Amino acid sequence: MQVSHPIPPFIRPDSLVLILGSFPSARSRETGFYYGHQKNRFWFLLSMLLKTGTPDSITQKQSFLTMHRIALWDVVQSCEVAGSSDSSIRDVKINPINALLSGSNIRAVLLNGKVAGKLFLANVCLKPDLPAIVLPSTSAANASCSLEKLAEEWKVILTCLK
């Protein structure tokens, strides 16, 4: 069954970094905001790197993103997916990412995981001066990647936000 992306992009006029996942997890689709599963390390990891408290509520998460000038969205607009499994994503329609970036202040696109990276690189053509960096997934399903390894890879966000 085809599932449509239910969460609008989170972007502000002063956003500098766009983080793209593949498609919202079942839990994120239920809660109505990105990285809604408690075991996903996204919010904890960014809080650790940016040296702030970890946001809990959607309002806190939106304030966190606004304060740090981070935009969020996903590569996939609609697809067939079994629950939250990225490996099950089929029959993909890509979000209009270039339209989102048009006129924005985004300096870099960070891709949360291999599936997001693969779909993005195969389907989206960015301006040559806008880097797209594929990073390890923060999902709990990527348990083989330790928090330390995630932090080492994801610290690139600090450079992008300067």
Q: For the full predicted model, state whether its pTM sits above 0.85.
A: yes
φ, ψ of residue 144 to 5 degrees: the values are -70, -15
* pLDDT tens-place string over residues 95-130: 999 999 998 999 999 999 999 999 999 888 777 788
Q: What is the pLDDT of residue 132?
A: 95
Mean pLDDT of the chain: 90
What band does 84 get if pLDDT is binned at 50, 70 and 90? low
The SS3 call for residue 20 is strand
Q: In 10 A of CB 122, how many CB atoms?
A: 10
Domains and CATH numbers, the chain: 2-160 (3.40.470.10)
* pLDDT tens-place string over residues 29-58: 889 999 998 889 999 999 999 999 999 999
* Residue 160 CB contacts under 8 Å (≥ 6 apart), including other chains: 16, 17, 107, 108, 110
Q: What is the pLDDT of residue 54?
A: 96
Write a three-state SS string for 88-144: HCEEEEECCHHHHHCCCCCCEEEEECHHHHHHHHHHCCCCCCCCEEEECCCCHHHCC
**Residue 86: pLDDT over 80:** no
Question: Sign of torsion, CA 47 53 56 57?
Answer: negative
Q: At what angle do helices 42-50 and 58-68 cross, to 10 degrees?
A: 40
Which pair of structure tokens corresponds to residue 86? 């990225």
d(CA 125, CA 98): 8
